[in-house]
């Protein structure tokens, strides 16, 4: 039997943000290994599968990565269809790359399926466009959490002119503020902190670079949360397109569309 492991992104939480391909993989699954940021509601697509939680929170404090690797390998070698379901996207701070490589080195076929990463979903849920003409020419996704001694080039991040989306930053707010200020980012740079993005209990705290630690503390911001730092964090899409020129352009598009139809 062909051994295959799907490394699938479950998106940020809202089950409607799951891709059709993820749903297909779940329907085919015999075994599903889930991380703890995965919303259980998505498991309705695999009612017959064996579900194995391998997350690092909750009841199972820390499942060693080597154990997860061996579990996937064992089931795949038994000819089972294995889905490794991860929060957000499997390859954005999700170890999808490492797991795919480890399995392929052992002759296991791997298919990766994108999920909507929390940083994109969090911003969109708050009507924040991560790139915006004339305001932000790009977006940089970074994690504030490292397991080695490597450090980010904060100065480059502070001066890069892109929107910063920071994962795993709740416990590092003080360091993030200090480093970005030291890198000459303006103290009044807008910040949005989005907790439990896309879930019914989503909460959103707007602040700025100087005040974000105190504001997060008063707000009792908890993980999982995303930080969006940059001029766009002051915007909502609804307030961005209000100039007359844009409205005019939009009505021209609509007319052209209706003529074609
Ligand atoms: N692979 C995941 C990221 C895993 S790292 C993805 O692509 O989204 C875990 C971090 O992701 C959390 O500490 C938090 O910063 C962020 N995160 C995950 N789900 C989130 C959610 N629903 N709302 C806000 N942040 C979330």
Residuewise pLDDT in 10s, the chain (261 residues): 457 899 999 999 999 999 999 999 999 999 999 999 999 999 999 999 999 999 865 444 567 889 999 999 999 999 999 999 999 999 999 999 999 999 999 999 999 999 999 999 999 999 999 999 999 999 999 998 877 767 899 999 999 999 999 999 999 999 999 999 999 999 999 999 999 999 999 999 999 999 999 999 999 999 999 999 999 999 764 443 344 444 554 555 555 554 543
Strand 50-53 with 81-86, pairing: unpaired
CA distance 145 to 168: 6
Cβ-in-10-Å burial (0-12, 13-18, 19+) of 77 comes to middle
CATH fold of 4-116 reads Cobalt-precorrin-4 Transmethylase; domain 1 (3.40.1010)
- Closest ligand 1 atom to residue 118 Cα is 8
Name the catalytic one among 4, 35, 193, 212: 35
Distance 14 CA to ligand 1 centre (A): 13
CA distance 87 to 31: 17
Domain with CATH 3.40.1010.10 in the chain: 4-116
Active site annotation includes 212 = no
CA distance 12 to 120: 9
**Residues pairing with 81 in the sheet:** 4
Residues 6+ apart with CB under 8 A from 131: 137, 138, 139, 163, 232
Domain with CATH 3.30.950.10 in the chain: 119-237
pTM for the model stands at 0.88
CA distance 137 to 159: 13
Instruction: Tell me which of 224, 227, 228 to substitute to probe ligand 1's pocket, judged by most ligand atoms within 8 Å of the beta carbon.
Output: 224
Tell me: domain 119-237, CATH 3.40.640.10, correct?
Answer: no
Q: From 31, 30, 21, 27, select the one nearest 46 (Cα to Cα).
A: 27
Distance 35 CA to ligand 1 centre (A): 11
Tell me, what DSSP letter sits at residue 119? H
Active site annotation includes 56 = yes
Q: Which residue has the tokens 């490589």?
A: 101
Residues 6+ apart with CB under 8 A from 93: 141, 143, 167, 168
Distance 139 CA to ligand 1 centre (A): 16
- Closest ligand 1 atom to residue 199 Cα is 22
Instruction: Tell me which of 18, 167, 202, 221 to substitute to probe ligand 1's pocket, judged by most ligand atoms within 8 Å of the beta carbon.
Output: 167
Instruction: Enumerate residues lining ligand 1, CB below 6 A.
Output: 12-13, 37, 86-89, 92-94, 117-118, 122, 167-168, 194, 196-199, 223-226
């Amino acid at each position: 039997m062909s051994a295959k492991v799907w490394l699938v992104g479950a998106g940020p939480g809202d089950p409607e943000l799951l891709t059709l391909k993820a749903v297909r993989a779940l329907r085919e699954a015999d075994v599903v290994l889930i991380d703890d940021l995965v919303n259980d509601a998505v498991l309705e697509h695999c009612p017959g599968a064996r579900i194995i939680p391998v997350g690092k929170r909750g009841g199972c404090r820390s499942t060693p990565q080597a154990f997860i690797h061996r579990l996937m390998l064992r089931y795949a070698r038994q000819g089972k269809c294995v889905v490794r379901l991860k929060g957000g996207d499997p390859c954005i701070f999700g170890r999808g790359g490492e797991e795919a490589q480890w399995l392929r080195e052992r002759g296991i076929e791997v298919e990766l399926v994108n999920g909507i990463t929390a940083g994109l979903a969090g911003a969109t849920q708050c009507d924040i466009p991560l790139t915006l003409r004339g305001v932000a020419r790009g977006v940089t996704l970074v994690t504030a959490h490292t397991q080695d001694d490597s450090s980010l080039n904060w100065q480059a991040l502070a001066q890069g002119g892109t929107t910063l989306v920071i994962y795993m930053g709740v416990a590092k707010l003080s360091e993030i503020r200090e480093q970005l200020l030291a890198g000459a980012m303006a103290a009044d740079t807008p910040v949005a902190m989005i907790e439990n993005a896309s879930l019914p209990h989503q909460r959103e705290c707007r602040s700025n670079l100087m005040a974000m630690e105190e504001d997060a503390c008063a707000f009792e911001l908890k993980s999982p949360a995303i930080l969006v730092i940059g001029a766009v964090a002051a915007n909502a899409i609804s307030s961005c397109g209000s100039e007359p020129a844009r409205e005019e352009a939009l009505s021209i598009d609509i007319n052209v569309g209706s003529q074609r139809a």
